[in-house]
Structure 1
Amino acid sequence: MQLIDRLSRRLRLRFKREVEEIVSQDRPGVSARFIPLPRRDNVSFVSPSAPNNHLPVPPRHLWEGYAETEAEYLKCGQDDVAQMLGILNEVEQRPVALERVLDLGCASGRMLRFVPREETSEHWGLDINAAHIEWCQQNLNPPMLFATNTTAPHLPFEDNQFDLLYCGSVFTHISELAEAWLLEVRRVLRPSGYAYITIHTRQTIDLLRTKYRDNPLFADFLAEIDSALVSHEPEGREWSIFTVGTDPFSQVFYDVPSLERRWGRVMPVLAVVEKAHDHQAAVVMRKRAATRIGAN
């Protein structure tokens, strides 16, 4: 397992270096990537899935830094789902439909495992990291379904499929292709379906400088952001989007009024709630209802 962990980290670093090299040399980038399963001697074995009477917890190296213990890992996923459903219900003033749900950027199902479901529910999780999806397919399927996707703005589903599509800490790492991804989100949502997308805002920067300054998990992140702000001096002028790094390792920050104008042309923005996903804000959007041909 230690060897696999080392290979996985090495692969992620190599992928990041290759992306940064492409950008630094001003060469055309590759439009679609994913993080493949680690292979030893160019060979990979995937174990068959087994029936689960309970939902196991993924190994620590798949926690993505969300927690230090299993209890904390489970609690943070449960809390984020409760927060999301609470915000959606407050916006709608009634419980939202959860028959068909898509978690875009699901990692190892940290949130999806806690989304309420029935026997007839169809809940999907997608991620660009194949290691997450492989673990989910072996341990969380059934009752949920999973697939690996790429960084290209494409979702492998037909139009008008989902009651809810949510992205926790995904659009925080999408810069140039954000609107293209929003168009895909809109396409797969059913009429009147909801999108719940977390983002960095100006207030995120303030939170990093105050509440999270002494948190070791955010130390490098804050240092990088502060360095970029000092070097490029965006605080002295207006900006709508502030990006550090290259996708999919970028950190993207939004000015909320500008975001509401831009994204609102794709789908109506119903609310932007600060500190909804820890230090991130949540954008709640709803696809317009279908109109009948010939209706007034």
Structure 2
Amino acid sequence: MLMSRVIDSIRHRNLARLTARCDSQYLDAEPWVLDQLDVADDGVKIGGWALPPIDPNTSATFAINGQPFDRLDYPREIPIFKDSLWMRPRAEAAGFRAERRQPRAKLFCDGFISISFNFPGRPVRAPYRSAWYRPTLPSYHSTWYFRDPSLQIALPDTKRRYRVIGSESEDMFSLGGFTDFMRMNALLEDRFQFGYRDCQRILDWGCGCGRVARYFATVPGVDFHGGDIDPDNVSWCHDNLKFGTFHHLPLHPPTRLAEGSFDLVYGISVFTHLRENVQFSWLQELNRILKPGGIALATIHGPTTMNYAMMPAEHHRLITQRIETEGFVITASNDQIDDVVEDKDYYVNVAHSRNYIRKQWGQTFEVVDILPGFIWTHDLVVLRKRL
């Protein structure tokens, strides 16, 4: 009996090692890209790229509103990915095009469409394991959401959109904003059993020109606030997003926001651009304005960002090694908001290691989870104010 248990144990260990060797070829997170979305009265066409199964015999699926596309061309070769995503086997087989023929009213019967990608065994790493850890991705993590354009409220002009996302595209602005809105709500409901509707007061910290904020017009009963250091975008939000209250924030806290007043604060691509001392000041300020037990969601440039930066192998090795060693690294200057802030050195590009987040941010907040590649290539840090 004892020998049988020993043999079984060895078998399990060997199987685990084999699985680990296989899985190690996948990246920590593998977000996929929609860069074409054409909606017509009689259907929709999409295109982009999604890293395929390493085993070419494994089938991947694309779905729209849970249903297969009528036509799917996948995989399509993207030769440059063999060099730019060198760490991932079969990366060059990532391209796709798909089409669904369906009347527009049926496509948007729920007010939006959802587009998902998956394959059996698609992995996810859990760099910060908790009781909530699961070996596979929840479906909302790998789904894009696009709201019916006829239901959209005012869109900002191209210059404002560019300052926020680095692109002038209306569809990409809307697609990314609504996807982030939907994913964060699904995460809150999944992880904490409450969503936006259960909050009394919510703050979009770094609201820009309302890329995500605009969708809170659909959430009744919430006292919604947005804040940003960009006075022009704040003014635009104030004039066009009448459901919320918008604040011009100083470059350095404190703000005039009331202590202990928010149930939820989220900041997308804000800590990705703050110098270290400024970062610590804002962590303290977010902690101050949250209610005890309140949740903060914040994105960082982590390993997924570096993997998707399309850099040569040696450069990738050096920068990732530096980030892991130093924890916090300024990776580049950034002039995206130079026209609207006085301090031209304020806004930079930065990267964090996950160990740094646990240690340094953990001095101010409880670090509940770090979810790789949750908001495009950004890791999402889930924080909770201690009681």
Q: TM-score, normalised by structure 2?
A: 0.52
Distance (Å, rounded) in 2 between the aligned partners of 1:236 and 1:156: 34
Residues 1:260 and 2:362 aligned together? no
Q: CA 1:237/1:126 → structure 2, altered by over 3 Å: closer, same or farther?
A: closer
Report the 3-state secondary structure (helix = DSSP H, G, I; strand = E; otherwise coil) of the residue aligned with 2:227: strand
Query: Which of 159, 162, 166 is the aligned partner of 2:266?
Result: 166
Query: Which of 95, 104, 111 is the aligned partner of 2:205?
Result: 104
Cα distance, 1:106 vs structure 2: 0.4
Specify the alignment match of 2:161 in structure 1.
Answer: 63
Report the 3-state secondary structure (helix = DSSP H, G, I; strand = E; otherwise coil) of the residue aligned with 2:252: coil
Cα distance, 1:76 vs structure 2: 1.3
Cα distance, 1:93 vs structure 2: 3.5
Residues 1:243 and 2:330 aligned together? yes
Worse overlay, 239-248 or 197-206: 239-248
Distance (Å, rounded) in 2 between the aligned partners of 1:147 and 1:117: 20
Higher strand share: 2
Query: Which of 197, 201, 206 is the aligned partner of 2:298?
Result: 197
- Structure 2: which amino acid aligns with 1:73? F
- Structure 2: which amino acid aligns with 1:70? E
Specify the alignment match of 2:223 in structure 1.
Answer: 122
Distance (Å, rounded) in 1 between the aligned partners of 2:351 and 2:320: 15
Specify the alignment match of 2:368 in structure 1.
Answer: 270
Contact preservation (8 Å) 1:84, 1:276: no
Specify the alignment match of 2:183 in structure 1.
Answer: 83
Distance (Å, rounded) in 2 between the aligned partners of 1:67 and 1:274: 23
Residues 1:282 and 2:282 aligned together? no
Cα distance, 1:79 vs structure 2: 0.3
Contact preservation (8 Å) 1:66, 1:73: no
> What is the aligned-residue RMSD (CA, Å)?
2.6
Percent identity, please: 26
Contact preservation (8 Å) 1:91, 1:270: no
The answer to which structure, 1 or 2, has the higher relative contact order (CA under 8 A, 6+ apart) is 1
Q: CA 1:255/1:147 → structure 2, altered by over 3 Å: closer, same or farther?
A: same
Residues 1:178 and 2:279 aligned together? yes
Distance (Å, rounded) in 2 between the aligned partners of 1:192 and 1:167: 17
Cα distance, 1:228 vs structure 2: 10
Contact preservation (8 Å) 1:106, 1:112: yes
Contact preservation (8 Å) 2:199, 2:222: yes
Report the 3-state secondary structure (helix = DSSP H, G, I; strand = E; otherwise coil) of the residue aligned with 2:195: coil
Distance (Å, rounded) in 2 between the aligned partners of 1:255 and 1:264: 13
Distance (Å, rounded) in 2 between the aligned partners of 1:156 and 1:204: 33
Cα distance, 1:183 vs structure 2: 0.7
Structure 1: runs of 5 or more not aligned: 1-52, 210-221, 290-296
Distance (Å, rounded) in 2 between the aligned partners of 1:54 and 1:143: 14
Structure 2: runs of 5 or more not aligned: 1-150, 334-344
Q: CA 1:67/1:261 → structure 2, altered by over 3 Å: closer, same or farther?
A: same
Distance (Å, rounded) in 2 between the aligned partners of 1:263 and 1:198: 13
